[in-house]
Amino acid sequence: MAHIPEDKLLEIREAASIEEVVGTYVKLERRGKTLLGLCPFHADSKPSFTVSPERGIFHCFGCQAGGNVISFVMQYHKLSFPEAAAELARRYGISLNLKDMGPEESRRASRRQLFYDLHREALAYYRATLAGTDGGPAREYLKKRGLTPEIIQTFQLGYAPEAWDGLRSYLQKKGLPLDAAAEAGLLVPRASGGYYDRFRDRVIFPIFDRQDRPVAFGGRIISEGEPKYLNSPESPLYSKGRLLYGLPQAREALRHEDLAIVVEGYLDLLALRVHGVAPVVASLGTALTREQVRLLKNLVSRVVLVFDGDPAGAKAMRRAFPLFGQEGLPVRVIALPRGMDPDDYVRTHGPELFASPWEAAQPWLAFLLDGLVEAHGLSIEGRVKVVEELKPYFTVLQDPVEQGLWLKFIAERLGVSETDLRLTLTRIDTGPRWNREQGQGITINLEKGLLRWILQNPAAVPAEELFAWAEEMEDPLVQDLLRLIATHCQDHQTLDISFLLDQLEEEARKRELCALVLGEGEFAQAQPDSVAEDWRRALRRRRLQQTQKLLKEKLALNPESLELLAQKQEIDWQLAALKSGGQYPHGA
CA distance 357 to 336: 13
Mean per-residue pLDDT, 333-362: 96
Using alpha carbons, list the distances in angstroms from residue 99 to 2, 16, 88, 107, 109. Answer: 10, 22, 17, 10, 11
User: What region, left, alpha or beta, does residue 206 occupy, with left being phi > 0 and alpha being psi -120 to 50 degrees?
Assistant: beta
* Residue 100 confidence (pLDDT): 60
- The pLDDT assigned to 486 comes to 85
DSSP letter string over 35-60?
EEE--TTS--SS--EEEETTTTEEEE
Amino acid (one-letter) located at 259: L
Strand partners for 127: none
Note the pLDDT tens digit of each residue in 281-314. Answer: 999 866 898 889 989 988 899 999 999 999 999 9
Average pLDDT score, the chain? 87
pLDDT in tens, 527-565: 778 778 888 888 888 888 888 888 888 888 888 888 888
Separation CA 280–CA 261 (nearest Å): 5
Question: Is the pLDDT confidence value at 176 over 90?
Answer: yes
Is residue 333 helix, strand or coil?
A: strand
| Eight-state DSSP code of residue 5 | -
> Is the pLDDT assigned to residue 257 strictly greater than 60?
yes
Asked whether the predicted pLDDT for residue 27 surpasses 60, the reply is: yes
Q: Which of 1-10, 233-242, 406-415 has the lowest mean pLDDT?
A: 1-10
Quick: pLDDT tens for 14-26.
899 999 999 988 8
Mean pLDDT to the nearest integer, 380-389? 94
What pLDDT does residue 392 have?
86
Residue 49 CA to residue 37 CA, distance in Å, equals: 5
pLDDT of residue 227: 93
What's the longest Cα–Cα distance across the chain?
108
Least confident of 449-463, 511-525, 543-557: 511-525
pLDDT at 506 over 60: yes
The mean-pLDDT minimum among 241-250, 381-390, 412-421, 506-515 falls in: 506-515
Instruction: Say how far apart CA 54 and CA 1 lie, in whole Å.
Output: 26
The pLDDT of residue 412 is above 90: yes
The Cα 90–Cα 197 span in angstroms is: 30
pLDDT at 429: 41
**Residue 475 pLDDT class (50, 70, 90 cuts):** confident
- The secondary element (H helix, E strand) that includes residue 202 is strand 202-208
Predicted TM-score (pTM) of the model is 0.70
Share of the chain above pLDDT 90, in %: 50
Over residues 114-126, the mean pLDDT reads 97
| Per-residue buried b or exposed e for 295-327, using 16+ beta carbons within 10 Å of the residue's own CB | bbbbbbebbbbbbbbeeebbebbbebbebbbbb
d(CA 57, CA 3): 21
Cα(291)–Cα(366) distance, rounded to whole angstroms? 25
Contacts 24+ apart (CB under 8 A), 183-189: 183/115, 183/235, 183/236, 184/115, 184/118, 184/119, 184/235, 184/236, 184/237, 185/216, 185/232, 185/233, 185/234, 185/235, 185/238, 186/118, 186/119, 186/122, 186/217, 186/232
Count of beta carbons in the 10 Å neighbourhood of residue 498: 20
Query: For the chain, how many helices (H) and strands (E)?
Result: 26, 16
Q: What angle do CA 373, 376, 379 make, to 5 degrees?
A: 90
pLDDT digits (tens, 9 = 90+) for 156-170: 999 999 999 999 999
Beta strand spans in 224-374 (E): 229-231, 260-263, 280-282, 303-305, 331-333, 362-363
- Which helix (H) or strand (E) element contains residue 80? none
Query: What pLDDT score does 484 carry?
Result: 85
pLDDT on residue 98 = 60
d(CA 6, CA 502): 9
Are 96 and 221 spatial neighbours (Cβ–Cβ below 8 Å)?
Answer: no
Residue 262: phi and psi, rounded to 5, are -110, 125
Q: How confident is the model at residue 435 (pLDDT cuts 50, 70, 90)?
A: very low
Mean per-residue pLDDT, 215-233: 94
CA distances from 222 to 26, 103, 137, 142, 162 (A): 39, 45, 8, 9, 10
Query: Which tens digit of pLDDT belongs to each residue from 95-105?
Result: 877 666 667 76
Binned at pLDDT 50, 70 and 90, residue 434 comes out as very low
Ramachandran angles phi, psi of 507, nearest 5°: -60, -35
For the cut 70, the answer to whether the pLDDT of residue 52 exceeds it is: yes
Lowest mean pLDDT among 32-41, 160-169, 197-206, 455-464: 455-464
d(CA 588, CA 172): 92
The pLDDT value given to residue 399: 82
pLDDT band at 173 (very low <50, low <70, confident <90, very high): very high
Of 43-57, 327-341, 421-435, 475-489, highest mean pLDDT: 327-341
Percent of the chain scored above 70 by pLDDT?
A: 92
Phi, psi of 220 (to 5 degrees): -110, 120
